[in-house]
Structure 1
């Protein structure tokens, strides 16, 4: 795997509430995480960092090299549950963290399959044969209205409530986690990103930038630059993984 990550506070925010994780060594699972925190007094930064730390720690310690797909999915689900309850309890115990939460989207590559865990409106994409496809569904109000046929995709992009999410880690004692399994092959490109990217750029623009770049690092830099050129209204984090 050839991979990279970039994060930027954008053009408007004074601090960066995003967090991310990359594999820490050849003996560790091929795990990638993006989290986008929310909450006042910089507690969003705390929530996203806790999510990344808890999810990566649990998966790194529980990962089964020869485990089945179902066992891998169960480990991912446990990792999200652990992160959720720790963030939730911290928000109750520390006044400055009250109401904090975070999205979390992760991808774990194993034996020709990628296992995705997802809560919130950060996204996972696959680029294959010149096409881009979103692998996750946004847990947001506008996405719900889109699925109900009450909004069009274009209306979703400019809706005043597009940042209202319906599911996040840490806002309740319990959380539902979306789990997705997908095969991968040589030449596939995977993208994990916060909504600071997808609120600024359409999928086609993201695809064209990635496919037109000379390397994954250059692609990540150009995505950040393009999102900022369009306003950079939020923090922007991207992880790109090329299956080599």
Structure 2
């Protein structure tokens, strides 16, 4: 795998409440996370950082003690991997929720979290909120996650078009996040990947500023992943940069 990440506070916000995780070292799971925090008194950045730290530590710790691939049924191992991801999200949710209750300055904080774990020829996605995961394959782009937002719900009900979703004044109202309650529902999925696939994780600071086709063209036209990430940030800022922007790009080689 070849990968990179970039984050930027954008053109309007005074601080960056996004957080991300990349694998560090050769003997750790190929795990990638993007989180977009929310809350007053800068507590959004506390929530997003806690989500990234708790999810990554739980998954890294759990998978380091898993049995070898050749010692288990792949379907069974896949189910166990999804369970580990679910538990990681649950733990992160409870930690953020308790902190929001115990610390007055963190009251009401929460965060999105979207992650991708590459393991045994598959990518496992865990998702809460409106940060997104995409796959670019055969020069096309496909959104893998569904936004947990009011406007996405209206879109699925046929009451809004995709263009209306992008421009709607309530597009930032999310219906699911980590830390806002004692329990949270986590979206999970798995799919096989192949050589040449490109995966993108990003906060809505990117997708609110750029169409999917613009994102695709920037990534495919760039000379490197680093250049693609830089150009995505630059393009989002050129279109207004109304929010923090975080991107992670992973190329399967």
Write the distance in 1 (CA, Å) between the matches of 2:161 and 2:116: 29
Gaps of 5+ in 1: none
For 1:12-65, what per-residue CA distance to the aligned partner results, in whole angstroms no more than 9, with x for missing partners? 000000000000111000000000000000000000000000000000000135
For 1:49-107, what per-residue CA distance to the aligned partner results, in whole angstroms no more than 9, with x for missing partners? 00000000000000135361000000000000000000000000000000000000000
Query: In structure 1, what is the equivalent of residue 92 of structure 2?
Result: 83
Query: In structure 1, what is the equivalent of residue 78 of structure 2?
Result: 69
**SS of equivalent to 1:165:** coil
1:93 equivalenced with 2:102 (yes/no): yes
- Cα distance, 1:111 vs. partner? 1.2
Deviating 4+ runs (over 3 angstroms): none
Write the distance in 1 (CA, Å) between the matches of 2:46 and 2:125: 23
Query: In structure 2, what is the equivalent of residue 118 of structure 1?
Result: 127
Over aligned residue pairs, what C-alpha RMSD do you find? 0.6
Query: In structure 2, what is the equivalent of residue 193 of structure 1?
Result: 202
Write the distance in 2 (CA, Å) between the matches of 1:56 and 1:157: 31
Query: In structure 2, what is the equivalent of residue 26 of structure 1?
Result: 26
Write the distance in 2 (CA, Å) between the matches of 1:77 and 1:144: 23
Write the distance in 2 (CA, Å) between the matches of 1:50 and 1:166: 20
Which of 205, 213, 231 aligns to 2:222? It is: 213
Gaps of 5+ in 2: none
**SS of equivalent to 1:138:** coil
**SS of equivalent to 1:47:** helix
Write the distance in 1 (CA, Å) between the matches of 2:163 and 2:49: 32
Write the distance in 2 (CA, Å) between the matches of 1:111 and 1:216: 23
Q: Kindly report which structure 2 residues correspond to 1:1-244, keeping only aligned pairs within 5 A, or say none.
A: 1-63=1-63, 64=66, 65-66=68-69, 68-244=77-253
The TM-score, its normalising length taken from structure 1, stands at 0.99
- Cα distance, 1:2 vs. partner? 0.3
